[in-house]
Amino acid sequence: MTARIIDGKKLAETIKLNLADRINALKEKDIIPGLTVILVGDDPASQVYVRNKANTFTKLGLNSSVEQYPASLSEEALCDRIRELNNDPSVHGILVQLPLPANLDANKVIETISPEKDVDGFHISNAGALMTGRPLFIPCTPYGVMKMLESENVELRGAEAVVIGASNIVGKPMALLLQKAGATVTICNSKTKDLAAHTKRADILVVATGRPGMVTGDMIKPGAIVIDVGINRGADGKLKGDVEFSSAKNVAGAITPVPGGVGPMTIVMLLVNTIEAAERKL
């Protein structure tokens, strides 16, 4: 058996086409959704990725600007700039690229973003809103994963879902969304004893650990849906997921590739959130 490939790139393109009507409706009211991305420091991977985001926005006729600052930028200066953007009506979404240099307190910086412009959904108010079932912005990566599961017509009610990784930006919101959809959710972490005993029970397995190839085919329940959130860049410059694709594809029912899986979905959901932020200003 060979798994179906869940094509995130293709699904992202379809979602983009379906956004055209919403974008045009805003334009008729002289509103162009705008995102400002703030990048601190000169991590080359972040730079490439931030460019990708900006290009996607521009292609669809949205506004996007990237502000790049040296790693020496003070927390105060960064927060002052964020407050200016909070008050700029042409900016609907603000994204501060993570991770930030160690001398900056990421929590403090993120909490300076107005929750109404926090299109990442990382602000503590937005995390709490999601947790209590009244989300304002759903974090883009887990949001994109839910769209992928939807496109595959996966029955979530009563399903066993296992999420490996408990970060605030992927694992925790992912678990909440799956739970809300009716799945029974287990969150595993690096201390989990006998990880395979958990993963082998999973009808839906989401892997977000940042450890390349850590989930192998022998850990997967035959026919399971496997979602690989990993984006690890190897020494050869190639992207590698957290799932060992070569062995997993022989066991899973469906699997997301890396690249071309969750990554493009993350970007398109950022578009969705930014458009939604602009629509709320109508």
Ligand X SMILES: Nc1nc(=O)c2c([nH]1)NC[C@@H]1CN(c3ccc(C(=O)N[C@@H](CCC(=O)O)C(=O)O)cc3)C=[N+]21
Which residues contribute to the site for ligand X (CB under 6 A)? 48-49, 52, 95-98, 120, 140, 231, 239, 258-260, 263-264, 266-267
* CB-CB neighbours of 139 under 10 Å: 29
Catalytic residue among 117, 118, 120, 147: 120
As measured in angstroms, the least distance from the Cβ of 98 to ligand X is 4
167 annotated to bind ligand: yes
**Pick from 99, 105, 87, 40: which is nearest to 66 by CA?**
40
30: annotated active-site residue: no
**Pick from 149, 169, 147, 144: which is nearest to 161 by CA?**
149
Nearest residue by C-beta to ligand X?
263
**Pick from 253, 5, 256, 276: which is nearest to 117 by CA?**
276
Q: Where are the alpha helices (DSSP H) in the chain?
A: 8-28, 44-59, 75-86, 106-110, 124-131, 140-151, 171-180, 195-199, 245-248, 262-279
β 160-164/204-207 pair status? parallel
Catalytic residue among 16, 97, 117, 147: 97
161 annotated to bind ligand: no
- From residue 210, give the alpha-carbon distance in Å to each of 77, 85, 190, 213, 269: 31, 32, 11, 9, 21
Q: Which is nearer to ligand X, 64 or 266 (CB)?
A: 266
231 annotated to bind ligand: yes
As measured in angstroms, the least distance from the Cβ of 90 to ligand X is 20
97: annotated active-site residue: yes
As measured in angstroms, the least distance from the Cβ of 260 to ligand X is 5
Q: Which is nearer to ligand X, 205 or 231 (CB)?
A: 231
Q: Which is nearer to ligand X, 75 or 160 (CB)?
A: 75
Q: Which is nearer to ligand X, 172 or 221 (CB)?
A: 172
**Pick from 203, 181, 200, 204: which is nearest to 192 by CA?**
200
Which residues are marked as active site? Answer: 53, 97, 120
Indicate the annotated binding residues for NADP(+).
165-167, 231
Binding region: 165-167, 231
